[in-house]
Amino acid sequence: MMKKTLILATSLLVAFSSLAEAQDRYQNRPPVIISPDLTAPWVTQLGGSVQPVVYRQQRAIDVQGERATRKQYLFQRRVKRSGTAVAQPVAMTRAQKPAQRQLDPRFLPQTVAYETQERPGTIVIDTNSRFLYLVTGNGQARRYGVGVGKPGFEWAGVHKVTRKSEWPVWTPPSEMIAREATKGHYLPASMEGGPANPLGARAMYLGSTLYRIHGTNAPWTIGFAVSSGCIRMRNEDVVDLYERVKIGTKVLVI
C-alpha cells in the first residue's frame, strides 16, 4: 500500500512540475515581433528604416453601439514616427480607393525628329497616335501627349488659334448639358476657372468651333480617347505650349 502511495505521489509531483514549467514558459514568452507589412524586408534592403510592431489579441469593448463579450478582434498596433501608438482594426487598413494610373513616359514632352512641310510654329495633332506636335523646323518638333475625342466625337480639319485664356471659365454647351442629363450627370451652366475646372490651367480656342486645346484636372486620361472633341493636355504641358503659341497659329488636326 505504501509503495502504491509513493508511486502516485511521485507521478502527481512530476505532472504538477511539468504543468508549472509550461505555464511559466507561456507567461514569460516574449511577444512576437514582426514587420509592419510584407514589404519591410525589401524596404530594409533599400536602406529604409522599418519600425517593428506587435500584434496582440484584444477584446472589443463596443462595436457599433452593441457590447460584444464573446468576440475577439485582431488589432494592429502601429507605432508612428512620433512614438504615439495607434490601435487600428486590421480590416480597416485597406485602401479607400484605387490609385490612379500613372502617365506613360512616352507622353511626356520631348523633342523628336519630325519631317513635315508645315512651317515652324504650326501645331499638328495626330489623333490616332495621341500626340500633339509643335513644329520647330530643321526636321524637328516638340511633342506632347494628349487626350482626344472619344468614339463618335472624332474630327479633323484646319483652324487657327483665335483666343487664349488662363484658368478659363468653363461653359458647357447646351448639347453637352442635355446629353449628360440623360445619363444622370447634371452639369453647371458655368464654372469659374480653378484647379477643379475641367479646362485646367490654360485654353486655346480653335476658330469659331466649340473645340479647344486645354488642360485637364484628370492627367491620367492623357493618351486616351475620352473627350467630347477637345484636345486635352496635362496642366504643366498646356502651360508650356501656351507660352510658345500666338494668336493666329495654324492648327492641323489629322
- What number of other Cβ atoms are within 10 A of residue 45's Cβ? 8
The residue ranges of DSSP E strands in the chain, in sequence order, are 33-34, 53-59, 62-63, 66-67, 72-79, 85-89, 110-113, 123-126, 131-137, 140-145, 148-149, 157-166, 202-206, 212-214, 225-227, 231-232, 250-253
pLDDT value at residue 243: 97
Q: 213, 230, 233, 241: which one is catalytic?
A: 230
- CA dist., res. 246 & res. 142, Å (int): 16
Q: 214, 223, 234, 241: which one is catalytic?
A: 214
* Type of residue numbered 149: G
DSSP secondary structure code for residue 170 in this structure: B
Q: Note if 214 is an active site residue.
A: yes
DSSP secondary structure code for residue 30 in this structure: P
Strand, coil or helix: 145: strand
Q: What is the dihedral of CA 179, 183, 187, 189, to 10 degrees?
A: 40
pTM higher than 0.85 for the full model?
no
φ, ψ of residue 119 in degrees (nearest 5): -75, 155
pLDDT value at residue 214: 97
pLDDT value at residue 63: 42
Q: CA angle, corner 132, sides to 130 and 135, nearest 5?
A: 150
- CA dist., res. 192 & res. 121, Å (int): 30
- What number of other Cβ atoms are within 10 A of residue 54's Cβ? 13
pLDDT value at residue 188: 74
Q: Note if 230 is an active site residue.
A: yes
pLDDT value at residue 79: 37
pLDDT in tens, the chain (254 residues): 665 565 666 666 655 565 555 555 545 555 544 444 444 443 334 444 444 444 344 443 344 444 444 444 333 344 344 444 443 333 333 323 334 678 889 999 999 999 999 999 999 999 999 999 999 999 999 999 999 999 999 999 999 999 999 999 877 777 777 877 787 877 776 788 788 889 999 999 999 998 999 999 999 999 999 998 999 999 999 999 999 999 999 999 99
Q: C-alpha grid cell for residue 183?
A: 445619363
- CA dist., res. 80 & res. 32, Å (int): 19
